[in-house]
Amino acid sequence: MTSDTRSHGVTLLGPLHETLARATGWKAVFFAALLGAFAGLAFAPFNLTLALAIALIGLVWMIDGARGQQRWGRAIFARGWAFGFGHFLISMHWTAAPFLVEPEKHAIFLWMPLILLPGGMAIIWGAAMSMAGAFWSASPSRIFIFTLFFAMAEWVRGNLFGGFPWNLAGTSWVPGGAISQAASLGGIYWLTVITLFVCSAGAALVDTREARSLAMRFMPLLVAIGCLAGLWGWGTQRLSHPSGETDVDIVLMDVGVPQAEKYIDGRPNPAVFRRYLEFLRDIPARPRDIVIWPEGATGGYLLGAQQIEPVAAYLGDRTLIAGTVRYTAGSQGEAWYNSLAVLTADSARTGAAGVYDKHRLVPVGELPLARILPFGQQLAGILPGALQRMATAGYEPGSGPALVFGDTVPPFVAMICYEGLYPNIVTDAEHTGGERAEWIVVVSNDAWFGAWIGPSQHYTQNRYRAIESGLPLARVAARGTSAVVDGMGREILQTKGLLDDIPGWRGQVGRTRLPEALAPPLYQTRAGKVLFPLTLVFLSVLGLFAWKR
């Protein structure tokens, strides 16, 4: 049994509100899933934040109708879950790509990225919407309540079981643009709160209350417009300052090998390593260049004598930062790490000048499955292997965020692939290192994730780490976007392809000066860190006060 869902407010929007609010059963689930899928257009490479606004307004109106049903908790959960499933399925369908590198082996498991992953994450959104329903009303207070619980759900999604904070609502703004600068104040989660409120405020224009003034219905939207205008003006003023540059030359290199050709019969393809040596030999060099290669660049053990000796011979007075596997042998057996190493011409004799071990590992592909899943040892043999196949049983996590030091490189925060999603790594690394970093280095292997949506989204989220920290960021991603951005997230350089490439490969090279680090923004202070929880408290007080009235 449903309550009266006749619409009142802005007459033009009334029929749409009634259509969504009165939907029941599978029709409601279908509409919600379509809205969630449409919200995927808000993220890279599209960045149509308006699509997120349309989708969230539709979801609020669907909850309006569900709240009047006898089993409203179940009805709201179904709509919230379907919205999340449609969104995660469409915006993260690229997670199926690793299962298609060797489809004859792994295509049978496509249900994991296409059903299990979006369905599991959607549970968080469904539960959050059900909790919001307990405080729901037809008044504008529901906008505050909706924003509060949705924002908390996003924080949970980004932290539960290690978290997967991919495509947070705040990243729908083009990084390096005016609105994106708000991340320097309170971080990406605070910008997500603001984005959720701004995008859902229009839902207050229509509700089920009779004889209420339009002024009250317009209030959330007017507040949202004012908030957006203020952030845009502040961000525009911040961006009016040009970024300075240091005297450090950065050279980004990626040979662009397809993932399917990186290994032959389970062993590293020797052509990959030869191609990187050719880059070192043939790409014009300057004294004291810092060359950066991507995650697991050669596919093999770069720190072993067979690779480190020729690399050191080709480097000269340059420094190389490269992703590689690393292992240690002890009484407990071999331990493998997904690492980043700093190499110089002396490294053949003295070893790496600096090493960082990835500490946030991808649950399927890097973590030892035997530790985290029942029958994990058996699954490890049939699911896609480790992102570099040297460690077929999985990697050990590193000790945590850290500054990487070297005599020939300014101190930097290292992030390997998946770690570039986490805003706390820069702060934690600087706290551990006892001083401020001068830049961020991100190495990644985006060859696993196709050539379009996945790598583009990954690059966008990495740029927010620069905005939050005020540090320039150098990123090299295998068959992804390799670029340098300044401390406001503005792109300084994106690599260009080479004309003499191996057929099917996409070699990329770029050179620029490292931008100067900015003064630490508000987010790097204690005040900035508490802005997100304080905003949640403010929303709860505002929403509950308006709800009781």
DSSP type of residue 518: P
Torsions phi, psi for 514 (to 5 deg) = -70, 125
Q: Please report, in angstroms and rounded to a whole number, the separation of the first and last CA atoms in the chain.
A: 26
d(CA 68, CA 5) in angstroms, rounded, equals 8
Amino acid at residue number 433: G
Among this protein's residues, is 417 annotated catalytic?
yes
Among this protein's residues, is 199 annotated catalytic?
no
Q: Which of 358, 396, 419, 468 is catalytic?
A: 358
- Calculate helix-pair angle for 117-133, 141-159, nearest 10 degrees: 150
336 within 8 A of 375, measured Cβ to Cβ? no
Amino acid at residue number 23: A
Contacts (Cβ under 8 Å, ≥6 apart) of 142: 60, 63, 64, 132, 136, 203, 204, 207, 543
Q: Which of 18, 154, 295, 430 is catalytic?
A: 295
CA nearest to 98, candidates 438, 545, 450: 450
Number of H helices, E strands in the chain: 19, 17
Q: Which of 18, 262, 396, 417 is catalytic?
A: 417
10 Å CB burial of residue 164 (0-12, 13-18, 19+) is: buried
249's enclosing H/E stretch is strand 245-254
Pairing of strands 491-494, 473-478: unpaired
Among this protein's residues, is 105 annotated catalytic?
no
Amino acid at residue number 11: T
CA nearest to 539, candidates 167, 122, 149, 37: 149
Active site amino acids: 295, 358, 417
